[in-house]
């Protein structure tokens, strides 16, 4: 039982970090869009609108993840963990497209951590089911 709580806590921490990073970048895009764009990019009204769309998605997801973590509901956290892990994974390809190693490696590392946390919770859950 202690291991299950530890695995769930690890999943909670990784998922929270994941959404807070994504939300932080979307808010940074609203405040100072140039930090998210490739060097020598022109900032336009379209850039701000795109940042608004990003924030409109990441802020509610972060709020729901935090709420689910506080509720301590494993099934919902697993589903949201999969969602945010996939979001970071695809964000890594945006970094590749921009030819920016830093914008690739961070999301890929977060998505790998998310998968590890999900596997830990899944393995423990399967172990508990098989012991019944």
Q: Mean pLDDT across the chain, nearest whole number?
A: 88
Cα 117-118-120 angle, rounded to 5 deg: 65
Q: For residue 80, give Cα distances in angstroms to 2, 19, 32.
A: 23, 10, 28
Question: What pLDDT is attached to residue 93?
Answer: 94
Say how many C-beta atoms besides its own lie within 10 A of residue 106's C-beta: 17
| Number of residues in the chain | 132
- Tokens in use for 27? 């808010």
Query: Which domain, by its residues, includes 11?
Result: 2-130
Q: Tell me which of 115 and 33 has the higher pLDDT.
A: 115
Please tell me the total count of domains within the chain: 1
Task: Give the pLDDT confidence of 25-74 residue by residue, as tens digits.
Answer: 899 989 988 877 777 788 888 888 888 999 999 999 999 999 999 998 89
């Amino acid at each position: 039982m202690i291991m299950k709580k530890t695995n769930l806590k690890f999943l909670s921490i990784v998922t929270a970090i994941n959404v807070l990073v994504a939300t932080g970048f979307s808010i940074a895009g609203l405040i100072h869009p140039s930090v998210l764009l490739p060097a020598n990019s022109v900032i336009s009204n379209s850039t701000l609108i795109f940042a608004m769309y990003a924030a409109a998605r990441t802020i509610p997801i972060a709020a729901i993840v935090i709420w689910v973590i506080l509720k301590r509901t494993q099934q919902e956290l697993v589903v949201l963990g999969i969602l945010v892990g996939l979001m970071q994974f695809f964000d890594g390809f945006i970094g590749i497209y921009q030819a920016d190693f830093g914008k690739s490696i961070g999301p890929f590392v977060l998505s790998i951590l998310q998968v590890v946390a999900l596997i830990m919770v899944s393995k423990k859950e399967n172990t508990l089911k098989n012991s019944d």
